[in-house]
Structure 1
Amino acid sequence: MWIVRLALRRPYTFVVLALVIILLTPVVLLRTPVDIFPDINIPVISLVWTYNGLQPQEMEQRITSNVERGVTTLVSDVEHIESQSLSGIAVIKVFFQPGANIQTALAQTAAISQTFLRFLPPGTTPPLVIIYSASTVPVIQIGLTSDTLSEQQLFDFGNYFIRTQLATVPGAATPFPYGGKQRVISVDINPTSLQAKGLSAVDIVNAVSAQNLILPTGTAKLGTLEYNVEMNGSPQTIEELNDLPVKTVNGATIYMREVAHVRDGFSPQTNIVLSNGQRGVLMSIYKTGTASTIDIVDRVKQMLEYNKGSVPEGLHISTFFDQSLYVRASIQGVIREAIIAACLTAVMILLFLGNWRSTLIIAISIPLSILVSILCLSALGQTINIMTLGGLALAVGILVDDATVEIENINRNLAMGKETVQAILDGAQQIAVPALVSTLCICIVFIPMFFLSGVAKFLFVPLAEAVSFAMLASYMWSRTIVPTLAMYLLSTEDEYRADEHVGEKMGFFRRYQQGFERSFEKFRGGYQRALVIALQSPKLFAVCFLAFCVFSVLIAGFLGRDFFPKVDAGQIRLHMRARTGLRIEETARLADQVNGVIRETIPKDELTTVLD
């Protein structure tokens, strides 16, 4: 009650407070990350082990299994482990409990990996340790294709130019490109000549390693200057590599060109990217941390546009996937539905109250409550996503309760002939406790969501927070801004309530509302008659009600269950599995055949890109 008296005594204070919130919210919104879902902070650490040439079965038995046992027993807060063993590569994903300290887990995992390295097969390289999260997902994929540039040139441009530029985008992480060919200097050994000379492949490796060195040897002081001196034994051309001496046997020097051929080539391809049947390079940009998906995508596009002049002639850069489109569409859809809900709510209030002044007061309290909720969510580190916006849209229809009940009670006191200020005080006091209990009951419903675990917790807690903050803000505004506005807008309301004649004095809204009330009274009369019939036959009504409940439970089993509803994203994803051991060139040929079938099946006007 004291806060209502304070609001009536100092009305400008709360009006200014409302204006400050209205002006502050856009600033906060611009700094709040925007994403399709809340930040799902389930910590995951990936260990990538490499041993070139080792078969998948050997990788699993010699590396993957040993590391899994060590991590399971010596690293704390492990929830479960997933692993994948490929040819020369083992990827181990360690999933931790939601409340685990990821930095402690990272230190323990790295220490265990280094300890186990001495027990693994000789030649195993130290693992690449990567912190991963469920929110670390691709937000945009870029494709590089060209009719004039080779796959090697495409890979080099993507890896050494675009990737380094993308490293400056906050919140973006860009791994190595997929597809293309990596340039290497290859030494092709001639086994027949090697055997005839009495040499082995180890001799070739030793010769290249020993004669491809650059060693600093000190400095040379000549006159007033000092020079750095180095021993440079690194060949500068392919011809010089072919002329390297390999070994001297019986006084005769055997050169590299006699037992091998050195060429400028590329390493064996492990993946091939096809864009509409044309080979190219695919670059995936991932979102890290709580960065905004829309900001990352916009900055990546700005970077590509800025560096368009540095792109080699004939190189085409295209976007295969852009998550910001789905984020914007989802958020705009939720906002649109929330605005429609607010407008419909205002129309219904106008129909039932029949007074534009009362409707205006209630309509002002709705966005103010939503703005307060947005400020609270931003202060807690939440993002703008479909869950928080969905919670606000859900709360729109409930936010009107506090203000509507208070306005109606104030009008009732005005109709009793009380002064405006006294009517406001009495009306607010009479419904203060019931309104508070009603608000708390709605908030209590969402308390169990805070005890959820796993992905459900990260998804539904923001929704619960959005609704709860909006409801509490609604009650606060009903104690402050609603009485303040009522003091000015309802100052002559007693004249409207005292006038019982339907004449020219009665406004349009009042006359229309009376017609609506007469129609509603007819509807209510029909409902009362139906209720009387139900009360006269309680057993029949109870049987029908139970039958309806049983039928509803039975058909619930046919609805199906899924984690998320199906969304038409305009994409079809096919997974093709070839037999084990098939060469990558043959796998690419099979992908070309599938590509052809897709183009024969889907009309050209409905197909944009086929990415293999």
Structure 2
Amino acid sequence: MIRWFTQNGVAANLLAGIVIVAGLFTATSIKLELFPELDLDTVSIAVPYPGAAPEEVESGIVELIEDRIQDVEGIKKITATAAEGYGSVFIEVERGYDATDVSDKIKARVDAIDNFPEDAEEPTVEELLIRNEVISLAVYGDADVKTLKEVAEYIRDELNVRESITQVDIKGVAEFEISINVSEIALRQYGLTFDEVVQAIRRTSVDIPGGSIKSRGGEILLRTTGKAYTGAGFADMPVITRADGAVVRVRDLATVDDGFVDDPLVTVFNGQRAVLLRIFAMGDESALDVSERVQSFAREINRDLPEGIQVETFRDFTYYLKGRLQMLIKNGIYGLMLVLLILTLFLRPSLAFFVMLGIPISFLGSMLFLPALGISINLASLFGFILVLGIVVDDAIIIGESVFTQFQKHGGPGVEASVAGTKRVSI
């Protein structure tokens, strides 16, 4: 191979040109991320069961799930936990199976379970993935937590629509909760029980399809939309209609609090109450591109926010990626200068130039194979590039010196000296 390329200089130069052009084109399209994607091969099932003891969770939730999914193909290990008010099951996927396919099969089995306890909430089945956070936003200012969270939700939706950023999580604030505190005195006054109030709310707060009506103008779908989403909606729900036609509503029996779950979590940013948004890069999204778009968006959105509320970026993890990229570029330039300088001083300028040219060609050639191997440019791969850079520079100097020495000692055609000098230091 060495002899063939030395004897066919046109082919070698043409191949080098192709590698340079194709490598530059490929390098601009390789995904940039903080860390490589890791597949945990794990599926999780979570089922909240408010007010239940661990024994009840085990018998009513965990055992049902284990019995239903144990024969799913591709499962290596099942680990279950029953805690107060909560049950979880973790499934480790056997090597060689697609975790997404196994997750879909498990979800189908769990969704088919129809004898969960009545008070248990809907199970959540998801494949565990390691997400790479890119940057965070802080929504803070002189406002109550509810207003801050509403602004954060608006910003999340704007990032999804305007900037096409798919993964934005709201953190640093408790979840919304509508609590209905029924008065025992009011129940006695109206001759009702707590269970009757609960059943009335369940019957009323539902959306029910009512079929369809076919007409000459087309088909009309009927649907009752009675589900409540706000405290005012629940407060206005009827519980009973008395003999005199008077309607007893939830607000007559209880106090409805449209607020947050009981959580001691308090988030402060720049000395003021805040809500945080964590932005992730998913799929083929470039971490550097996501960071730039979020910072530009933050500067623009501040002009449209209510007075006293601000948005600020922080915890930009692309700082480390940019630093590693700059280190690679800087070391590459120093390596090229070092090779050119040493070989020019001690050997020949023409030899120094061609040896120096081999360094970027070798790196651009490696770029051609990264997408095919599923490798992105991240902190780990950049560390490898920086490590190999020193080896490539050293090898370039050693091979150049060996070829020149061989030519000086034995003379003869330069092709023979190139082949012999390269083989002398090759493994």
Which residue of 1 is the match for residue 147 of structure 2?
153
Partner in structure 2 of residue 4 of structure 1: 6
Cα shift at 1:3: 3.0
Task: Give secondary structure in 2 for the equivalent of 1:179.
Answer: coil
Tell me which amino acid in the other structure corresponds to 2:407.
N
**Match status 1:162 vs 2:159:** no
1:328 and 2:350 correspond: no
- 1:373-522 aligned at under 5 Å gives the runs 373-399=366-392, 400-401=394-395, 404-405=398-399, 408-410=402-404, 412-413=406-407, 416=410, 418=412, 423-431=413-421, 433-434=423-424, 438=427
Shift of 1:341: 4.6
CA contact (8 A) 1:178 1:271 kept: no
1:469-502 CA-to-partner distances (Å, cap 9, x unmatched) read: xxxxxxxxxxxxxxxxxxxxxxxxxxxxxxxxxx
- What does the per-residue CA deviation read over 1:77-104, in whole Å, with 9 as the maximum and x for residues that have no partner? 4465666666644454434356431222
| Distance in 2 (alpha carbons) for counterparts of 1:33 and 1:179 | 33
Of 116, 119, 127, 2:123 maps to 127
Secondary structure of 2:267's match? strand
1:369 pairs with 2:366? no
Aligned equivalent of 1:561: none
CA offsets, 1:299-352, max 9 Å, x none?
33334344444322222212342211122123323443444455445555456x
Distance (whole Å) between structure 2 residues aligned to residue 131 and residue 365 of structure 1: 45
CA contact (8 A) 1:56 1:85 kept: yes
Q: CA deviation at 1:430?
A: 2.7
Q: Which amino acid counterpart does residue 8 of structure 2 have in structure 1?
A: L
Instruction: Indicate yes or no: 2:32 matched with 1:38.
Output: no
Deviation per CA, 1:370-413: give whole Å up to 9, x if none. Answer: 22112222332311123323333333343353674366435543
| CA shift for structure 1 position 281 | 1.8
Matches of 2:12 and 2:228, distance apart in 1: 79
Contact 1:145 1:317 in 2 (8 A): yes
Q: How does 1:529-608 map to 2 (within 5 A)?
A: none
Give per-residue Cα distances to partners, 1:345-369, cap 9 Å, x unaligned. Answer: 5555456x34333322222212211
Q: Secondary structure at the match of 2:23?
A: helix
Partner of 2:106 in structure 1? 109
1:293 corresponds to which of 287, 291, 294: 287
**Alignment deviations for residues 231-250 of structure 1 (CA, whole Å, 9 cap, x no partner):** 78789998897676533567
1:144 aligns with 2:139: yes
Which residues of 2 match residues 168-207 of structure 1 at below 5 A? 168=161, 172-180=166-174, 182=176, 184=178, 186-207=179-200
RMSD: 4.1
Greater Cα shift, 368-377 or 309-318: 309-318
Taking a change above 3 Å as real, the CA distance of residues 181 and 239 of structure 1, as seen in their structure-2 partners, is: closer
For the Cα contact (< 8 Å) 2:355–2:400, is it kept in 1?
no
Deviation of 1:275 after TM superposition, in Å, equals 1.3
Structure 1 residue 191 displacement after superposition: 0.9
Q: Cα–Cα, structure 1 residues 126 and 239, in superposed 2: closer, same or farther, change >3 Å?
A: closer
Aligned mates of 1:62, 1:214 — CA distance in 2: 28
**1:94 equivalent in structure 2:** 91
2:152, 2:251 → 1: CA distance? 37
CA contact 1:172–1:288 (8 Å) conserved in 2: yes
Partner SS, residue 42 of structure 1: strand
Normalising to structure 2: TM-score of the pair?
0.79
Q: Which amino acid aligns with 1:74?
A: D
> Which structure has the greater CA radius of gyration?
1
CA separation of 1:78 and 1:241: change in aligned 2, threshold 3 A: closer
The separation in 2 between residues aligned to 1:3 and 1:234, in whole angstroms, is 76
Unpaired segments of 5 or more residues in structure 1? 439-612
User: Are the aligned partners of 2:140 and 2:275 in contact in 1 as well (CA < 8 Å)?
Assistant: yes
Task: Report the CA distance between 1:138 and its aligned residue.
Answer: 2.4
**Change in CA separation of 1:93 and 1:384 when aligned onto 2, cut-off 3 Å:** same
Counterparts of 1:170 and 1:57, CA distance in 2: 45
Matched, 1:283 2:277: yes
* Residues 64 and 287 of structure 1, relative CA distance in 2, 3 Å threshold: farther
CA shift in 2, pair 1:371/1:257, >3 Å: closer
Partner Cα separation in structure 2 for residue 239 and residue 127 of structure 1: 28
Alignment of 1:223-302 (within 5 A): 245-247=238-240, 255-256=248-249, 259-261=252-254, 263=256, 265-270=258-263, 272-276=265-269, 278-289=272-283, 291-302=285-296
CA distance in 1, matches of 2:115, 2:50: 17
Q: Aligned equivalents of 1:327 and 1:50: distance in 2?
A: 39
What secondary structure does 1:375 align onto?
helix
SS in 1 for 2:370: helix
The secondary structure found in structure 1 opposite 2:40 is coil
The AA in structure 1 aligned to 2:316 is D
Separation in structure 1 between the aligned mates of residue 83 and residue 297 of structure 2, nearest angstrom: 35
Counterparts of 1:137 and 1:237, CA distance in 2: 34
Distance 1:284 1:299, change over 3 A: same
Unaligned runs of 5+ in 2: none
Matches of 1:357 and 1:225, distance apart in 2:
82
SS of structure 1 residue aligned to 2:395 = helix
Partner secondary structure for residue 38 of structure 1: coil
The alignment-based identity, stated in percent, is 20
User: Which one has a larger percent helix, Structure 1 or Structure 2?
Assistant: 1
Q: Which moved more, 1:277-286 or 1:247-256?
A: 247-256
Distance change >3 Å, CA 378–CA 232, structure 1 → 2: closer
CA-to-partner distance for each residue in 1:395-445, whole Å, 9 max, x for gaps?
A: 334335367436643554356553xxxx22221343465555x1xxxxxxx
Conserved? CA contact 1:189–1:260, under 8 Å = yes
Instruction: Give the AA of the match of 1:33.
Output: K
Distance in 2 between residues matched to 1:188 and 1:260, nearest whole Å? 9
Instruction: Describe the superposition over 1:118-144 as per-residue Cα deviations: whole angstroms up to 9, x where unpaired.
Output: 35323323322223323x132222222
Structure-2 change in CA distance of 1:341 and 1:291 (3 Å)? same
Instruction: Decide whether the 8 Å contact of 2:35 with 2:132 is kept in 1.
Output: no
Q: SS state of the match for residue 313, structure 1?
A: coil
CA shift digits 1:475-534 (9 cap, x unpaired): xxxxxxxxxxxxxxxxxxxxxxxxxxxxxxxxxxxxxxxxxxxxxxxxxxxxxxxxxxxx
Task: Provide the residue aligned with 1:314 in structure 2.
Answer: 308
- For 1:382, the aligned partner's letter is I
Residue 158 (structure 1) shift: 2.0
Higher relative contact order, chain-length normalized (CA < 8 Å, sep 6+): 2
SS in structure 2 at match of 1:317: strand
Distance between the aligned counterparts of 1:364 and 1:338, measured in 2? 12
Secondary structure in 1 matching 2:121: coil
Q: How does 1:23-102 map to 2 (within 5 A)?
A: 23-54=21-52, 58-59=56-57, 62-64=60-62, 67=65, 71=69, 73-78=70-75, 88-97=85-94, 99-102=96-99
SS of residue in 1 equivalent to 2:33: coil
- More strand, by proportion: 2
Structure 1 residues 162 and 220 mapped into 2: Cα distance closer, same or farther (>3 Å)?
A: same
